[in-house]
Chains A and B, each alone.
Chain A
Amino acid sequence: MEWFEPTGLAFFLLLTGDADLWRIIFTSLICSVIALLLISPAAIALGFLIAKITFPGRRALVVLVQALLSFPTVVVGLVLYMLLSRQGPFGFLKLLFTPEAIIIGYMIIAFPVLVVFTLSAVQGADPRIYETARSLGASPLRSALTTLFEVRFGVMAAVFNGFGRVVSEVGCAIMVGGNIAGLTRNIPTAIALETSKGDFAQGIALGFVLIVVAIGINAALAWLQGRGGLE
């Protein structure tokens, strides 16, 4: 079987700690985690505010954010490329083809996922949570945080889904990261490159890592929900 040899080699590379392979995995994970850490507070706050506050244009804003969920990531990459390129308005920052550019792209891609999932979690929350907190003397901010804590599994699902979306994203990362070995090459861009070169072993190994990450995220969420007594 033709697939057997590259698959065996893939596991060999993973288990022997192949430096190039693990560097790619590290780049992917660190860019995704940093992007999520940076964008989560603002996105969760916006999701909460849209869910709780009635204002003119709220419905249109919800539709817009939901539409951004299906926005092609390659277009995000294209716009970001134009903004960060030497002739672009932010070219002076010299961020193009750096991990920072990938992180910015990931933040943009994760943002609507986090907002929509948080919005949904807060809208589904019992309105007595916020009122109880207020009535017990909590400030509006503290009451909002209490509400988010009470729907923490929904908020965690938002963060995990955001992570899942960016860690497997290829279009934006390749456009603004440039797929530079040892610097911006991450799991999806490496899979695309190695497969195009006919080197299936590394592609399979990286694909395996992506699958493990996806399963790990879902297992972690299920475990946390179980610990919360909400199984």
Chain B
Amino acid sequence: MSAPLFSLRQLAKQFGTRVLFENERLEFESGSGYVLTGPNGSGKTTLLRIVAGLEPAGGLIEFRGQLSLIAAYPEEWRREVVYVHQQPYLFHTSIEKNLGYGLARRGMPAAERGEHARDALEWAGLGDRREVPPHKLSGGEKQRAALARAKVLNPTLLLLDEPTANLDGDARKQVLELVTALCIENHTVVVASHDPEIIRLAILNRVHVADGHIKSDD
């Protein structure tokens, strides 16, 4: 069996006196999809944020065979791990420039950024919305724009926090299709979700988070 792409070891996290995780372990294989399930407050979002390097915690983290303390999350890993909030924040500029933000941080010239951003917006069904400011987008469009902004970076590990929460009808269906497409496109995707349709996706491995423990179905 090959080494996992990403793993957390001896994970320890507490908020004040409440211990959320103690000596837990979690692994993600390259090119696989995962869905984190569990009740509200079980720590799914916290777990995603720890993986993204946005939340301090105790323990070790291994990525592509390199080991680090979680507390000393290496800067270069941030270029490969992208986290999308449950309610994504879009910068106060055009949608196209939002998509170009991460590309610019990777040193891509402006002309190329525009081309990549337009392709990603077409993928998300927002090709005609690229000059629109974020406050004029619906909730579903914002979520799709955030998915496109993450996808355009071609991350090694993509973390999605409740991507269909607060959406219904067509908006939810469209986001669900994009999440499925990302999983099929051989990205390593981890989704925290309560959505039964996401949990039932055969392409995703289920990881249950409850009572301070992390358990994979297999």
Task: Enumerate chain A interface residues (CB-CB to B < 8 A).
Answer: 126, 128-129, 131-139, 142, 146, 149-150, 228-230
Contacts and interface: CB of A to CB of B under 8 A. Distances in A.
Contact of A132 (B53, B79, B88, B106): B88
Please tell me the size bucket of the interface on B. Answer: 20 to 34
Nearest to B159: A135
B89 A136 contact: no
Q: Is the interface of A mostly helix, strand, loop or mixed?
A: helix
Interface of B: 52-54, 75, 78-79, 81-85, 87-89, 91-92, 101-102, 105-106, 133, 135, 149, 153
Given A134-B54, A229-B133, A229-B135, A139 B75 contact: yes
Contacts of B133: 229
B102 A136 contact: yes
A131 to B, nearest CB: 5
Given A131-B85, A139-B75, A228 B92 contact: yes
B92 A150 contact: yes
B83 A135 contact: yes
Contact of B89 (A128, A138, A229): A128
A153 to B, nearest CB: 10
Nearest to A133: B101
A194 B112 CA distance: 62
A138 B91 CA distance: 14
16 contacts: A126-B89, A129-B89, A131-B85, A132-B89, A132-B91, A134-B78, A135-B54, A136-B82, A136-B101, A137-B79, A137-B105, A137-B153, A138-B101, A146-B101, A150-B92, A229-B135
Contacts of A132: 85, 88-89, 91
Given A129-B89, A150-B91, A229-B133, A135 B105 contact: no
B146 to A, nearest CB: 9
Contacts of B78: 134-135, 137
A225 to B, nearest CB: 12
Nearest to A138: B105
A228 B134 CA distance: 12
Given A135-B54, A135-B78, A229-B133, A142 B89 contact: no
A131 B75 contact: no
A72 B11 CA distance: 54
**Lowest 4 A-B CB distances belong to which pairs?**
A136-B102, A128-B89, A137-B105, A135-B83
